[in-house]
């Protein structure tokens, strides 16, 4: 949790301002009952009009100062909490950018998004609340207690009694209700889940005519939710009437015992009036702090989720060597990879090399570890054992930027970024001219873009899967690299388009190319084909060799020849 | 001296206020009696609370007079009267607390029931809507009606109903009580109210501008975060970290610079109310003292007045807050009712169909999702009982639409689909659908055990039958290997088994349901080759002796089909058996030829 306070450090002076303004406000507010007491005790008792008016003027002055102070508090607490959120977001974002796939898989991507947005907002919301309660309430409480003692009555014990009563009430109710908060949350999740499931399954539900079945299913959760809600509300709702009751009884007690005090110790009516008001303030401030502790769990949940991100250790370290010679070779030597928390090795003793001018292909079923091999090359994640070498040096020794500069990576899932076609292509080559962009688009069979300024919406959702893949391939081949990695990125393309793109890729023939695919047709021309099954390279060779010798390859080939891709 | 309220968002506004109110009222009407009870309790509770300060004031006056008597040695405090007064006060408060609790219980029972019913109705509606209505609405949008909107409606009714009532009663009651004490002090207090209202209104309008502005920046920043984290691999692989950070920082700064202002201006309501209540306090203290001196009021009346002014400003704050909540609730109710008012899927005919005797005929069928965009054009073909029809064509040609039309998920634009010579519109929809089994590529399973998921095909199936169905489609093997076998739970996204395995389960489910007609969508490349082989075998098993429509990708399926129809752009361009189509030397022949050259 410590890291959560870091963005607070450069705002301490602002928080000090908040504190000072709150102090001024509380001070001014708390003088009011005192002045009222004086009006009653001195002004009325002695029939002194002038005194009453004078006191009234001073009170107005206090009210004005207090009002200005509250504006100040608002100003600074807005700045602090917004600024805190801003800085915290920046810290998280910066941290997440350094994550490797390893860390990204540990905390999922979608969860990282919520943590950077919603959870930070939650913290920010609570922060505003902290300034008003955690600083304001104690100030108000302590100030009122001081004032009470200044009044020199024998009534302070009444406040104490009420204090204890309020605490007991709070504790009893919280003990009964708190466990149910979690349950409620769980049921809400279940309601959402069930509703979502139904919505997604509508065609199947209709096809099986299972409407009543689904209604019953939903009704069960719904009823549970109803019951828990009623219970929680009935328990919580008792709080307010009882609290009011306790406060009011306090006033009555003060009046009753105040009367005795007046006879025995000569305290004055104005003092009793003031006392009542201070006592009310004390209890109120206490309730505010209690309210804060109700909010606290929410704060802690968000806080914990964020500090988890900040405390995640980054597994990828940067290397120093910046110079990588052209026409270098990448070699996998006994590389294994195991996902965090997984018992099985995703990759086992992988050995192969990528040589300039050669095309290497990897074929294998889903989950055989093909993509993982690709991810290891630009160090999106590091192997758990074994080495990947560039010209004999471990890639970890190279500067990440220079390493990635050498490599072009086209992932399986085509992802585009908001902007336009041109800005997306420039991700592949920052200084690409329009000429170069058009050329790359042509090579990738992008025939649907008329204008480079054509908009790309978030995630590229305004393009179809096949279109996105082609744009993503264009982005991959626009820059000149020594290694081109294509991760099954032809899967959404029809056979004709794929063949045309593959023909065009021959332009890259001086570099090394690594293609991952499930289709024989995609890889049959490769210089070397690696057949991967269950994380191991089970066979290697050219298409013609493998068709003869490799059982798994033969099986794949047979199925696919029986498969009418073009009619897809 | 009140704490600042948390930042308030401007409410979502309903489009048609009167309709929204009418809708909410219909919801409330069912709970008329409980609501009346609620109001009665609220009135009693508030009334008793209002009387108490007056008595407390009198008690104070008693003490004041007693002290004066003591000073002038003319007597002491009248303890008997004091005790009497205070006892009444305690009794008043006790009754008031009791009724306030009762009131909130009644109300919460009503509103919780209302939201329970609404959720129920919404799900029922979802289940009975025609397909195109379901597809027309975004999924998240529908879901948020079931959850968020129902919630804010419940909150809105709970909060606003009771707060409005108590606020109004309190305002009137307190006003009367204050009047009974002194008219001038009352006027001095009351005059501040409209001013406060106007100021708050003004402030809200003012801060709204900033709020909307910052909302824009927030959206763009969140969008960027989402995009970056999803496309993280690309960012790293292409060395885009610095550029991404730069863009983030400028968006982040932009949001901040608007956001803190928005927060500041909207939080100014707090200081404003604080000022007004403090100001009233001073006015009451001074005016009160003056009137005491003129013997118009007693000392205790000042204390009573303090309490009244406090309970006067609170309702005003409440009302402004409630107004926002009501608007949100009305907007929510509008969205809920808009959805509930959709027409259910029609099913006018009660003509049950339980088997096919002859066959299925498509006659000049045309269909479009949106007007002027025909997906299916003038389609005609027929299928005899027990035949296998292979539908082939490129993605987007309309293959899936054809089979969905047979399921009567949508209504035709023109033409007709007939079973045994009778238009399928003439059959009971449910019985028609019960006749047909559907295995699509995006296999829907729900988060329960595997055995429950298979049982979905036939709710009366025994464990034995379930296992049998699973073995028939080669799923038994992998199910047994799971830690808990058939009782293994699928998780929420049902991603703890592979896509191919899911598909095997949906086939098992269909086999269990023993349908007469089958609609099958063959697997494409998204499943690995070996699982795919299993799926094909399972499908072959499923089709044995059934009338089947297969959206086919495999040559062997197509070759074995009794009839092949080739679809392009919603039209049949060729139909016949494999041999017939080859002899035609058309589209089918050409593609097949190109295909074989590629692979062999």
| Per-residue model confidence (pLDDT) at position A298 | 67
How far apart are the C-alpha atoms of B41 and B590, rounded to whole Å? 83
DSSP element (H, E) containing A350: strand A347-354
Q: In the β-sheet with B414-419, what is the strand arrangement from edge to edge? A: B374-384, B359-368, B414-419, B422-423
Give the chain A residue whose CA is nearest to the CA of B533: A559
Residue B328 has pLDDT above 90, yes or no: no
Name which of B239, B270, B304 to mutate to probe chain A: the one with the most chain A Cβ atoms within 10 A of its Cβ: B239
Contact residues, B window 485-514, toward A, CB-based 8 Å cutoff: 492, 498-500, 513
Do you know the residue count of chain A? 568
Find the angle CA(A385)-CA(A388)-CA(A390) to the nearest 5 degrees.
160
Contact residues, B window 412-441, toward A, CB-based 8 Å cutoff: 430, 433-434, 436-438, 440
| Per-residue model confidence (pLDDT) at position B1 | 35
Of A97, A252, A407, the CB nearest to B90: A252
Mean pLDDT of A433-437: 92
Token digits of residue B87: 């006892």
| Per-residue model confidence (pLDDT) at position B364 | 92
pTM flag (> 0.90): no
- Taking the C-alpha atoms of B553, B558, B561 and B564 in order, what is their torsion angle to the nearest 10 degrees? 90
Residue B138 has pLDDT above 90, yes or no: no
Q: Which residue has the tokens 């007491």?
A: A37
Residue A74 has pLDDT above 70, yes or no: yes
Give the chain B residue whose CA is nearest to the CA of A375: B233
Of A36, A215, A255, the CB nearest to B59: A255
Q: Per the CB < 8 Å rule, is A197 touching B267?
A: no
Which DSSP letter does residue B562 get?
S
Chain B hits for A43, Cβ within 8 Å: 289, 293
Give the chain A residue whose CA is nearest to the CA of B396: A568
- Of A224-228, A323-327, B497-501, which one has max mean pLDDT? A224-228
Mean pLDDT of A255-278: 87
Do B27 and B290 form a contact (C-beta atoms < 8 A)?
no
Mean pLDDT of A265-277: 85
Compute φ and ψ for A363, nearest 5 degrees. -125, 150
CB pairs under 8 A between A and B: 422
| Per-residue model confidence (pLDDT) at position B2 | 35
CB-CB neighbours of A28 under 10 Å: 22
- Tens digits of per-residue pLDDT, A514-531? 998 877 777 888 899 999
Mean pLDDT of B276-290: 89
Q: How far is B64 from chain A (nearest CA, A)?
A: 5
Q: Which residues pair with B418 in a beta bridge?
A: B361, B423
How far apart are the C-alpha atoms of B271 and A68, rounded to whole Å? 8
How far apart are the C-alpha atoms of B394 and B379, rounded to whole Å? 17
* 3-state secondary structure at position B14: coil
- Percent of chain A with pLDDT strictly greater than 70: 96
| Per-residue model confidence (pLDDT) at position A215 | 92
How far apart are the C-alpha atoms of A352 and B14, rounded to whole Å? 65
- Of B194-208, B375-389, B492-506, which one has max mean pLDDT? B375-389
User: Mean pLDDT score of chain B, rounded to an integer?
Assistant: 84
Token digits of residue A175: 């003990």
User: What band does A387 get if pLDDT is binned at 50, 70 and 90?
Assistant: very high
Compute φ and ψ for B519, nearest 5 degrees. -120, 120
Q: How far is B9 from chain A (nearest CA, A)?
A: 12
CB-CB neighbours of A186 under 10 Å: 13
Q: Does B550 touch chain A (CB under 8 A)?
A: no
- Percent of chain A with pLDDT strictly greater than 90: 28
Which DSSP letter does residue B146 get?
I
Of B94, B285, B447, the CB nearest to A245: B94
Which DSSP letter does residue A3 get?
G
Three-class SS string for B216-231?
Answer: HHHHHHHHHHHHHHHC
- Tens digits of per-residue pLDDT, A119-164? 898 888 888 778 777 888 889 999 999 998 888 888 889 888 988 8
Q: Strand A419-420 relative to strand A455-456: parallel, antiparallel, unpaired? A: antiparallel
Compute φ and ψ for B550, nearest 5 degrees. -120, 125
Q: Which residues pair with B518 in a beta bridge?
A: B437, B548
Report the sign of the C-alpha dihedral through residues A490, A491, A493, A498, in that order: positive
Compute φ and ψ for A257, nearest 5 degrees. -75, -25
Contact residues, B window 274-333, toward A, CB-based 8 Å cutoff: 274-275, 278-279, 281-282, 285-286, 289-290, 292-293, 299, 302-303, 306
* 3-state secondary structure at position A237: coil
| Per-residue model confidence (pLDDT) at position A28 | 93
Token digits of residue B238: 């292409």
Of A49, A195, A556, the CB nearest to B293: A49
Q: Per the CB < 8 Å rule, is B440 touching A203?
A: yes
Name which of B2, B4, B77 to mutate to probe chain A: the one with the most chain A Cβ atoms within 10 A of its Cβ: B4
How far apart are the C-alpha atoms of A103 and B394, rounded to whole Å? 40
Q: Strand A347-354 relative to strand A330-337: parallel, antiparallel, unpaired? A: antiparallel
Contacts of B103 (CB under 8 A, 6+ apart): B38, B41, B42, B45, B162
Q: Which residues pair with B359 in a beta bridge?
A: B384
Do B263 and B7 form a contact (C-beta atoms < 8 A)?
yes
| Per-residue model confidence (pLDDT) at position B7 | 37
Token digits of residue A213: 């079945």
User: What band does B8 get if pLDDT is binned at 50, 70 and 90?
Assistant: very low
Do B359 and B383 form a contact (C-beta atoms < 8 A)?
yes
Q: Does A197 touch chain B (CB under 8 A)?
A: yes
- What residue ranges define each of the domains in chain B, with the CATH number in brackets? 17-340 (1.20.1560.10), 346-435+518-529+538-600 (3.40.50.300), 441-514 (3.40.50.300)
* 3-state secondary structure at position A302: helix
Q: Does B458 touch chain A (CB under 8 A)?
A: no
Of B123, B252, B595, the CB nearest to A90: B252
How far apart are the C-alpha atoms of A515 and A234, rounded to whole Å? 64
Chain B hits for A44, Cβ within 8 Å: 289, 292-293, 299
Chain A hits for B83, Cβ within 8 Å: 256
Residue B334 has pLDDT above 60, yes or no: yes
User: Mean pLDDT score of chain A, rounded to an integer?
Assistant: 86
Residue B74 has pLDDT above 50, yes or no: yes
- Tens digits of per-residue pLDDT, A84-94? 999 999 999 99
Mean pLDDT of A420-438: 91
Do B439 and B512 form a contact (C-beta atoms < 8 A)?
no
Compute CA distances A280 → A22, A246, A437, B590, whole Å: 19, 11, 73, 91
Do B555 and B572 form a contact (C-beta atoms < 8 A)?
no
Find the angle CA(B500)-CA(B505)-CA(B506) to the nearest 5 degrees.
95
Name which of B70, B146, B526 to mutate to probe chain A: the one with the most chain A Cβ atoms within 10 A of its Cβ: B146
Residue A474 has pLDDT above 90, yes or no: yes
Residue B171 has pLDDT above 70, yes or no: yes
Higher pLDDT, B255 or A125: B255
| Per-residue model confidence (pLDDT) at position B10 | 43
- Tens digits of per-residue pLDDT, B376-425? 888 899 999 989 999 987 766 778 888 889 988 888 999 999 999 899 98
* 3-state secondary structure at position B78: coil
Q: Does B532 touch chain A (CB under 8 A)?
A: yes
Contacts of A165 (CB under 8 A, 6+ apart): A246
How far apart are the C-alpha atoms of B477 and B497, rounded to whole Å? 13
Residue B319 has pLDDT above 80, yes or no: no
Compute CA distances A13 → A9, A65, A123, whole Å: 9, 21, 20
Token digits of residue A206: 């209709």
Q: Per the CB < 8 Å rule, is B123 touching A281?
A: no
Residue A374 has pLDDT above 70, yes or no: yes
CB-CB neighbours of B483 under 10 Å: 6
- Tens digits of per-residue pLDDT, B11-61? 456 667 788 888 888 888 889 999 999 999 999 998 898 898 889 889 988
Compute CA distances B548 → A320, A568, B107, B359, B537, whole Å: 64, 19, 57, 11, 15
A471: closest CA among A415, A519, A432? Answer: A415
- Share of chain A residues as helix, strand and coil, in percent rounded to the nearest 5: 65, 10, 20
Mean pLDDT of A291-295: 71
How far apart are the C-alpha atoms of A434 and A282, rounded to whole Å? 71
Q: Does A307 touch chain B (CB under 8 A)?
A: no
User: What band does A472 get if pLDDT is binned at 50, 70 and 90?
Assistant: very high
Q: Does B176 touch chain A (CB under 8 A)?
A: no
A489: closest CA among B440, B533, B493, B237? Answer: B237
Classify burial at B441, counting beta carbons within 10 Å of its beta carbon; exposed 0-12, middle 13-18, buried 19 or more.
middle
| Per-residue model confidence (pLDDT) at position B418 | 92
User: What band does B6 get if pLDDT is binned at 50, 70 and 90?
Assistant: very low
| Per-residue model confidence (pLDDT) at position B551 | 86
Q: How far is A269 from chain B (nearest CA, A)?
A: 5
Give the chain A residue whose CA is nearest to the CA of B587: A567
Q: Does A221 touch chain B (CB under 8 A)?
A: no
């Amino acid at each position: 949790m410590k890291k959560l306070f870091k963005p607070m450090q450069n705002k301490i002076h602002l928080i000090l301002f908040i504190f000072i303004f709150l102090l001024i406000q509380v001070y001014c507010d708390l003088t009011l009952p005192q002045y009222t007491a004086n009006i009653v005790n001195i002004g009325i008792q002695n029939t002194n009009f002038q005194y009453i008016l004078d006191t009234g003027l001073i009170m107005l002055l206090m009210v004005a100062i207090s009002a200005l102070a509250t504006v100040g508090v608002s100003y600074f607490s807005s700045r602090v909490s917004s600024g805190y959120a801003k800085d915290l977001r920046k810290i998280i974002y910066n941290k997440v950018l350094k994550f490797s796939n390893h860390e990204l898989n540990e905390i999922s991507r979608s969860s990282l998004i919520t943590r950077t947005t919603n959870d930070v907002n939650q913290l920010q919301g609570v922060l505003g609340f902290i300034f008003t309660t955690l600083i304001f309430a104690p100030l108000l409480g302590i100030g009122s207690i001081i004032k009470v003692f200044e009044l020199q009555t024998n009534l302070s014990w009444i406040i104490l009694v009420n204090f204890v009563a309020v605490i007991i009430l709070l504790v009893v109710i919280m003990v009964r209700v708190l466990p149910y908060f979690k349950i409620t949350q769980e049921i809400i999740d279940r309601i959402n889940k069930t509703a979502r499931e139904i919505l997604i399954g509508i065609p199947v539900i209709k096809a099986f005519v299972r409407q009543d079945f689904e209604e019953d299913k939903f009704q069960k959760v719904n009823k549970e939710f109803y019951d828990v809600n009623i219970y929680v509300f009935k328990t919580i709702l008792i709080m307010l009437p009882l609290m009011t009751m306790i406060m009011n009884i306090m006033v009555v007690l003060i009046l009753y015992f105040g009367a005795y005090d007046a006879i025995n110790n000569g305290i004055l009516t104005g003092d009793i009036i003031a006392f009542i008001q201070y006592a009310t303030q004390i209890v109120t401030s206490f309730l505010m702090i209690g309210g804060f502790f109700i909010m606290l769990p929410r704060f802690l949940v968000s806080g914990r989720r964020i500090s988890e991100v900040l405390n995640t250790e980054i597994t990828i370290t940067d290397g120093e060597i910046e110079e990588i010679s052209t026409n270098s070779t990448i070699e996998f030597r006994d590389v294994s990879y195991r996902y965090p928390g997984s018992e099985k090795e995703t990759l086992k003793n992988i050995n192969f090399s990528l040589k300039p001018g050669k095309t290497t292909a990897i074929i294998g079923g889903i989950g055989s570890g093909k993509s993982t091999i690709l991810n290891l090359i630009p160090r999106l994640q590091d192997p758990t054992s074994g080495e990947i070498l560039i010209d004999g040096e471990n890639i970890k020794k190279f500067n990440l930027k220079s390493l990635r500069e050498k490599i072009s990576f086209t992932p399986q899932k085509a992802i585009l970024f908001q902007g336009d076609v041109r800005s997306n292509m420039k991700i592949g080559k920052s200084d690409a001219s329009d000429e170069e962009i058009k050329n790359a688009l042509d090579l990738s069979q992008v025939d649907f873009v008329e204008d480079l300024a054509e908009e790309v919406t978030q995630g590229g959702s305004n393009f179809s899967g096949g279109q996105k893949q082609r744009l993503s391939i264009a982005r991959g081949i626009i820059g000149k690299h020594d290694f081109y990695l294509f991760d099954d990125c032809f899967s959404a393309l029809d056979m004709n388009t794929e063949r045309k793109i593959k023909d065009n890729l021959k332009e890259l023939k001086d570099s090394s190319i690594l293609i991952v695919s499930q289709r024989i047709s995609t890889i049959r021309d490769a210089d070397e084909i690696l057949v991967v099954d269950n994380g191991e390279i089970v066979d290697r060779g050219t298409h013609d060799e493998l068709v003869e010798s490799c059982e798994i390859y033969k099986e794949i080939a047979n199925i696919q020849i029986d498969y009418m891709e073009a009619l897809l | 001296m009140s704490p600042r309220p948390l930042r308030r968002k401007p409410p979502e506004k309903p489009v048609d206020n009167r309709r929204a109110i009418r809708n909410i009222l219909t919801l409330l009407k069912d709970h008329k009696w409980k609501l009346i009870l609620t109001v009665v309790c609220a009135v009693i509770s508030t009334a008793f609370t209002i009387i108490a300060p007056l008595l407390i004031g009198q008690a104070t006056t008693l003490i004041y007079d007693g002290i004066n008597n003591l000073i002038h040695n003319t007597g002491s405090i009248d303890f008997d009267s004091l005790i009497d007064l205070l006892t009444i006060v305690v009794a008043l408060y006790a009754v008031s607390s009791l009724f306030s609790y009762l009131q909130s219980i009644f109300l919460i029972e009503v509103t919780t029931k209302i939201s329970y019913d609404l959720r129920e109705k919404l799900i029922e509606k979802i289940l009975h809507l025609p397909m195109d209505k379901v597809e027309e609405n975004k999924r998240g949008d529908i879901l948020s009606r079931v959850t968020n909107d129902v919630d804010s409606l419940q909150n809105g009714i709970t909060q606003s109903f009771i707060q409005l009532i108590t606020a109004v009663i309190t305002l009137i009651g307190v006003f009367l009580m204050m009047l009974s004490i002194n008219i001038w002090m009352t006027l001095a207090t009351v005059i501040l109210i409209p001013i406060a209202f106007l100021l708050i209104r003004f402030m809200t309008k003012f801060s709204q501008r900033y709020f909307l502005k910052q909302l824009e920046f927030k959206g763009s920043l969140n969008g960027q975060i989402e995009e970056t984290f999803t496309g993280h691999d690309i960012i790293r692989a292409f060395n885009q970290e610095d550029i991404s950070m730069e863009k983030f920082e400028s968006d982040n700064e932009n949001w901040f610079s608007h956001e803190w202002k928005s927060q500041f201006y909207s939080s100014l309501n707090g200081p404003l109310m604080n000022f007004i209540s403090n100001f009233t306090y001073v006015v009451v203290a001074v005016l009160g003292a003056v009137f005491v001196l003129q013997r118009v009021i007693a000392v205790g009346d000042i204390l009573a007045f303090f309490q009244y002014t406090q309970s006067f400003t609170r309702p005003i704050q409440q009302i402004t807050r409630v107004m926002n909540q009501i608007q949100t609730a009305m907007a929510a109710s509008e969205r809920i009712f808009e959805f509930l008012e959709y027409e259910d899927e029609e099913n006018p005919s009660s003509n049950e169909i339980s088997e096919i005797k002859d066959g299925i005929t498509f006659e000049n069928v045309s269909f479009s999702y949106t007007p002027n965009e025909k997906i299916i054009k003038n389609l005609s073909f027929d299928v005899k009982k027990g035949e296998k029809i292979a539908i082939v064509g490129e993605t987007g040609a309309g293959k899936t639409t054809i089979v969905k039309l047979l399921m009567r998920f949508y209504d035709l634009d023109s033409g007709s689909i007939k079973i045994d010579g009778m238009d399928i519109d003439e059959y009971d929809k449910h019985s028609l659908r019960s006749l047909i089994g559907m295995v699509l590529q995006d296999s829907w399973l729900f988060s329960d055990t595997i055995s429950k998921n298979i049982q979905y095909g036939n709710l009366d199936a025994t464990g034995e039958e379930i296992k049998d169905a699973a073995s028939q489609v080669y799923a038994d093997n992998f199910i047994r290997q799971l830690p808990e076998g058939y009782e293994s739970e699928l998780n929420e996204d049902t991603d703890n088994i592979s896509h191919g395995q899911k598909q095997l389960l949906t086939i098992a489910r269909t086999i269990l349901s023993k349908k007469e007609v089958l609609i099958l969508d063959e697997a494409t490349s998204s499943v690995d080759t070996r699982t795919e082989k299993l799926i094909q075998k399972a499908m072959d098993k499923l089709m044995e002796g059934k009338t089947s429509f297969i959206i086919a990708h495999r040559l062997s399926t197509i070759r074995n089909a009794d009839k092949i129809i080739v679809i392009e752009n919603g039209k049949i361009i060729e139909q016949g058996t494999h041999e017939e189509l080859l002899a035609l030397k058309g589209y089918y022949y050409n593609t097949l030829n190109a295909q074989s050259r590629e692979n062999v």
